[in-house]
Chains A and B, each alone.
Chain A
Amino acid sequence: MDIKKAFTSELNFEAASTRKMLSRVPFDNTDWKPHTKSTTLLGLARHVARLPQWTTLILYQDEINFANNPWPPYPEIKSAEELTAFFDKSVADAEKAIENAPEDEFMKTFTMKMGDHVVGAMPKAAAIRNMSFNHLVHHRGQLSVYLRLNDVPVPGMYGPSADEGRPA
């Protein structure tokens, strides 16, 4: 399969389900967290919304150094609409980055550093999958429990949620 096509189609598929989850974040309770060690609802939701930006960064740069504050500050997000708009922009940029990348870009090595220490190095295709896609699915899964605990109906991701009918 064409690697660019595979990435674009998976991005679109996961983005559609992620958008559903983000659109339900209750903005009257964004400081809430399920445990003192957990991140807040807003902290988690905007983290999920940003994760497609990893795809863009990996395709335009050959390394990331966590010591240099690589991510721009978050915009102010005060509603589920603003949250999904922030997410849509992250997805659109990632899609464009995939579209513009030459096929061999995906085989180039991407390096993650903390100062001089190399945390990991892998082909860009693997880095996108790991740090952008799977990372997003991981935190989106956590967000689904946050919504559940706030009595917000949860959209199904890979099958129906407990709020949705099982297929007849």
Chain B
Amino acid sequence: MEMKKAILAEFEHEAASTRKMLERVPVEKITWAPHDKSMTLDKIARHITNLPLWITTTLTTDERDFATTPSPAVPAYNSGEELAKHFDKNVADAKAALENVNEEDFEKLYVLRAGEKVFYNEPKGRIIRNFALNHMVHHRGQLSVYLRLLDVPVPGMYGPSADEARPA
């Protein structure tokens, strides 16, 4: 399968599920965290909102230095829907970046470093899978537990959640 087509299809699918989760973030609880060591609801929600940007930066640059390029801030939001709109914008940018590349671009090496220390030097396709797609799914899974603990109905991701009917 063409890598570009495969990643686009998967990204669209996962982004749609992620949006459902973000829409439900209760803004009146954003300072809540399930544990002292956990991220607050606000922090994890913003982090997920930004993760599609990994696709955009990976395809439009050849390296990322964590020492000099911090993640861009997520604009303020007053509702789950507003948060989801910020996410939509990042998804649209990522999709445009994917549409613009050639199949060979996924084979080009991408470097992740903090100053001198190199963490990864891997093909862009692999970086995107790992740090954009899987990374987003990972934190979205955590967010689903946050929502559950806040008594917010959880949307199913790979099958029905405990709030949804099993198919008859």
Question: Which A positions have Cβ atoms within 8 angstroms of B?
Answer: 1, 3, 6, 9-10, 13-14, 34-35, 37-39, 66, 106-107, 114, 117, 119, 123, 125-126, 129-131, 133-135, 137-142, 144-146, 148-149, 157-158, 162-163, 167-168
A167 and B1 in contact (CB under 8 A), knowing A137-B137, A139-B141?
no
The answer to whether B117 and A167 touch across the interface, beta carbons within 8 angstroms, is yes
The answer to whether B6 and A138 touch across the interface, beta carbons within 8 angstroms, is no
- Complex: how many Å from CA A13 to CA B138? 14
- Complex: how many Å from CA A114 to CA B160? 13
**Chain B residues with a Cβ closer than 8 Å to the other chain, count:** 43
- Complex: how many Å from CA A168 to CA B139? 24
A134 and B137 in contact (CB under 8 A), knowing A13-B130, A35-B149, A125-B1?
yes
Q: In the complex, which of the residues A10, A38, A158 contacts B126, with contact meaning CB atoms closer than 8 Å?
A: A10
Q: In the complex, which of the residues B13, B117, B130, B146 contacts A145, with contact meaning CB atoms closer than 8 Å?
A: B146
Q: How far is the CB of B79 from chain A (nearest CB, A)?
A: 24
* Contact code string B125-146 (vs A, CB < 8 Å = 1, else 0): 1100111011101111110111
Q: In the complex, which of the residues B1, B6, B37 contacts A163, with contact meaning CB atoms closer than 8 Å?
A: B37
- Complex: how many Å from CA A142 to CA B135? 13
Question: Which B positions have Cβ atoms within 8 angstroms of A?
Answer: 1, 3, 6, 9-10, 13-14, 34-35, 37-38, 66, 106-107, 114, 117, 119, 123, 125-126, 129-131, 133-135, 137-142, 144-146, 148-149, 157-158, 162-163, 167-168
Chain B residues positioned under 8 Å from A13 (CB to CB): 130
Q: How far is the CB of A112 from chain B (nearest CB, A)?
A: 10
- Complex: how many Å from CA A92 to CA B31? 42
The answer to whether A149 and B34 touch across the interface, beta carbons within 8 angstroms, is yes
Interface of A is mostly: helix
Chain A residues positioned under 8 Å from B149 (CB to CB): 34-35
Q: In the complex, which of the residues A129, A138, A158 contacts B157, with contact meaning CB atoms closer than 8 Å?
A: A138
